[in-house]
Amino acid sequence: MVLLAFACLVPLGTAVTSLAQAVDPGKKEKAPKAAVTDQKVRQNPSAPDAVMTLRSVAGQEIEAKLISATGENVTIERVGDGRQFVVALATLDNYTGERVRQWMDQAPGAVAYNFAVTATKTLIDSNTFMTGGRDLKTAEWSYRVKLTNLTRNLLTDAQLEYRIVFDDEVEIAKTVVAPGKGANQQDGQMVDLPEMHFNDEIEFDTAPLQIHTYEYVPSRGEREYSRDTIKGIWVRIVKNGTVLYEYQSHPATMAALSWDNEDKLEIRVTNQFRDQFATGVK
């Protein structure tokens, strides 16, 4: 039997110990002792399986399936009995380590990414005027979005896409009032993210969204009133076509919505966003 004596391959939930015991269950370890169990890790459901031969810096090998990764560790499943362990990348030889890192970088869902997103709605401008007893109001709103990489892995070649969800009940062009496009409209953009290390943070303002309010209170008859309403913002982080993370500012009102609108919405990519990300200007 060929032994893979990495220093840091352990079942999830145990202390760090030699990998030799994982390959040869009969091998006894000196202190610190760590029991080898059949406990399974929670697999990232979007992570692809990749079977390869892992080789240690000492030249010992094991056949294993890559499951997921975080930080400088990769979770593997030993071929043969399906038991899962955590391997420190530092214990792999250069060739094997590079292959695993390529898998982490290229395979959608391989890394268990985690982010923090906050979004603050801000009034940019407003204008109110009256004509013929009718109150017409136009307002521009924007979101200040802050994204933090909480994963102990470098994020590269990813995009951020957002949708501002709103009910478009009324359209106002100068003094002409018309019905809007209806409920649950989406307006947004997609931008390329810069490289983000652990705890790196970016911040940007979304393009202004214009909403309208119409009110008319006649001396006789029923009051006329209609207004647009912003429901919230929906943010996605995408890499290689796979959604790594999603954020909804108001899940209770947005949970039933679908991220479609590809035929209805033109996604505008602006140089302003790219320059803002690249220079770090907030």
CA dist., res. 26 & res. 223, Å (int)? 84
- Spell out a b/e string for 79-105, using b for 16 or more CB atoms within 10 Å of the CB, else e: eeeebbbbbbbebbeeebbebbbebbb
Residue 23's pLDDT is what? 52
Residue 101's pLDDT is what? 85
Q: Give the global pTM.
A: 0.65
Torsion of CA 186, 188, 193, 199, to 10 degrees: -60
Per-residue pLDDT of the chain (282 residues; tens, 9 = 90+): 344 444 445 444 443 333 443 455 454 434 333 222 222 333 333 444 588 899 998 888 889 988 888 778 888 888 888 888 888 888 999 999 888 888 887 776 778 788 999 999 999 999 998 888 889 999 999 999 999 999 888 888 899 999 999 999 999 987 788 999 999 999 999 989 999 988 899 999 999 999 999 999 888 888 899 999 999 999 999 988 888 899 999 998 888 888 864 433 333 333 343 444 455 444
Tokens 């400088």, residue?
72
DSSP 1: -
Residue 175's pLDDT is what? 79
Residue 15's pLDDT is what? 35
CA dist., res. 77 & res. 106, Å (int)? 20
